[in-house]
Amino acid sequence: MQSCDLVSTGGATIAARFYEPPGAARGAVVIGGAMGVKQDYYAAFAQWLAGEGYLVASFDYRGMGDSQRGPLRELRADLFDWTDDFDTVIAEALRRSGGAALYIVGHSLGAQLPGLLKHRDRIAGLVSVAAGSGYWRDNAPQLKRMVLYFWHVLVPLATKLCGYFPGRRLRKVGDLPAGVILQWRKWCLNPRYHVGAEGHSVRERFEAARFPLVALSITDDELMTERGTRVLVDCYANAPRRVERIAPADVQARRIGHFGFFRDQFQTSLWRRTALLLQGFQISQETAA
């Protein structure tokens, strides 16, 4: 694994890690992380996937994890800036892999942003993990009970008082830049999520995406429902897409949840399934060519 700093828009420093395969790369994979989750969380999965022959990249969005430079209250960043960070890492992955086929494994937020990417025409396939619309009515029942208080009281008040969202102290999501949490709030209060909240230009960008998408929806996901997943998938209106449901019993586990997919206990099941999906994207691309 090699760590490096990349320069994104506005001069933001993005901490990225690249995991090299043992031989020539069969493709490149960029892992798009979930909201408030550091790239450390995906390290074991990234290392394993590199062993399957892929050049794998992970990263922290600006202001997060190893990409944090200075106090969050001084950072001016929103989710469009985080999309730029995603693009910056994709560009470097393409350079390092010699232009090999580029795939994304997106966890939660990491599968919500690819329709916004400038490099979306270079994406050969997206595996979406535990991702969906964040619209509050599409949240899982246990989350829905408190989410209106979260969005209408806690987020505006805490962000105004601190200049950023102090999620770590509140045990909610994690510390986030003000621009990120307030834009995410706007998305989560709209039935069409980002496509509805941001309007025509964003809807057109998602509709322009043509890369194949497979969404893995977890039946015991405490944050995301199947309906929420299908709403997100349908934002990619012109892309080949499907949803696959996964239950813990399918992989002889008691629980998977929103965050469990990337635990190393699932190497031979969920991780292997991901590798097979990536291979399927490659076969489909070669057949079409």
Q: Structural domain boundaries of the chain?
A: 2-141+203-288
pLDDT value, residue 101 = 95
Question: Which DSSP category does 177 fall into?
Answer: E
Which of 247, 236, 242, 287 is CA-nearest to residue 269?
Answer: 247
Within 8 A by CB and 6+ apart from 44, the residues are 262, 264
First to last CA, the chain: 33
Residue 29 · residue 23 · CB < 8 Å: no
SS3 22: coil
Output the six-digit token pair for 183.
């834009």
pLDDT tens sequence across 229-271? 999 999 999 999 999 999 999 999 999 999 999 999 999 999 9
Whole-angstrom distance, CA of residue 187 vs CA of residue 52: 36
Pairing of strands 123-129, 213-218: parallel
pLDDT value, residue 244 = 98
CATH 3.30.470.20 fits 2-141+203-288, yes or no: no
pLDDT tens sequence across 162-187? 999 999 999 999 999 999 999 999 99
pLDDT value, residue 239 = 97
**Residue whose pair of structure tokens reads 């420093």 in the numeric block:** 13
For residue 206, give the amino acid letter.
Answer: F
pLDDT value, residue 142 = 82
Question: Model pTM?
Answer: 0.95
- pLDDT < 70 stretches in the chain: 289
pLDDT value, residue 129 = 98
Whole-angstrom distance, CA of residue 246 vs CA of residue 270: 9
Triad 166, 169, 172: Cα angle to 5°:
75
Question: Which DSSP category does 34 fall into?
Answer: P
pLDDT value, residue 89 = 98
Q: How many residues does the chain have?
A: 289
